[in-house]
Amino acid sequence: MKYLALFIFFMSACAHSLNIVGDDAYAPYSYKEGGQFKGIYTDIINQALGRMGEQHSVKGMPWKRGLNSLKGKMVDALYPPYYRPEQRPYMAYSIDILDETPVIFCHKDSAVGLKSFPADYQGKVIGRNAGFVTPVIDEAAKNGIIKIQEVKGMNTNLQKLVNKRVDCYVNDRLSVLFELKKMKAKGKYDGSSVVETSALPAEQGFLAIHVDASEATKAFIGRFNETIQAMKTDGSIQKVIDSYTK
């Protein structure tokens, strides 16, 4: 009976369909385009689920809504938050999936003399996506060195930067360069007025669940961790990254 109970528990954990959501406006990592939800993290997670032999719902959602939905247990898992245990105590994390490099980009007219953050940024207005937490940026704002303006979505923030409605914008380097390339192709960016000024400490993206998630969801994260580690080792994750960047 003991082994039968363990078998039933294992099967129910595997059969439980999870509601996994990702940021729907974080190209090239996770985004909607042409009616499809795709991106580096999305492809990695879907590939991992395939290896695990599991089928779960993977959909896009505005980032701030995704955070609130996980906090309220309306979804089972969310990607790709950075590790923020103090700001988001309701989250438990998978192993890290990949590294990202947050960077401050500024309009060239505001970038003169900007080298060291935060010392050289006195009085600058820095745009940021709603729900995007960057501790060094928050600390500089708390100390009165800079001001932060938050709006939903990268495209809106970059349009504000191009139009000089903010001095700078902070987000992942690859993501910003990807979006600027699209904006240039659409004639919404001249290709030279936005420049990188400072790189911030590297971050890692995770798949997060609620700290009080069900045992089935916690068991899923254990299987997911093993699969992601295997994908790192055999180069599968790098192949997905390369498919978007080369």
Model confidence pLDDT, tens digit, residues 15-57: 579 999 999 999 999 999 999 999 999 999 999 999 999 999 9
Residue 9 pLDDT > 60:
no
How many C-beta atoms lie closer than 10 Å to residue 235's C-beta? 10
- Could you tell me which residues come within 8 angstroms of residue 171 by beta carbon, excluding any fewer than 6 positions away? 102, 103, 105, 128, 129, 132, 154, 157
Tell me what pLDDT residue 4 has.
Answer: 47
- Using 50, 70 and 90 to split pLDDT, how confident is the model at 246? confident
Q: Which residue has the tokens 């192993």?
A: 95
Q: Which residue has the tokens 């969801």?
A: 217
Burial (0-12, 13-18, 19+ Cβ within 10 Å), 3:
exposed
Q: Whole-model pTM?
A: 0.82
Q: What residues does 147 pair with on adjacent strands?
A: 125
Q: Within the chain, which residue ranges are assigned CATH 3.40.190.10?
A: 18-99+204-245, 102-201
Give the amino acid at 238. Answer: Q
Q: Nearest-CA neighbor of 77 among 213, 185, 245? A: 213
Tell me what pLDDT residue 15 has.
Answer: 55
Q: Nearest-CA neighbor of 177 among 154, 160, 198? A: 154
CB 122 within 8 A of CB 144: no
| Cα–Cα dist 246/239, whole Å | 10
Domain 102-201 class?
alpha beta
| Cα–Cα dist 113/103, whole Å | 16
DSSP character for 165?
A: S
Residue 7 pLDDT > 90:
no
* E strand intervals along the chain: 19-23, 25-26, 30-33, 36-38, 57-61, 77-79, 91-93, 98-100, 102-107, 125-129, 147-151, 168-172, 194-199, 203-205, 208-210
State what percent of residues in the chain have pLDDT above 90.
90
Per-residue pLDDT reduced to its tens digit, 83-110: 999 999 999 999 999 999 999 999 999 9
Tell me what pLDDT residue 8 has.
Answer: 44
Q: What is the CATH number of domain 18-99+204-245?
A: 3.40.190.10
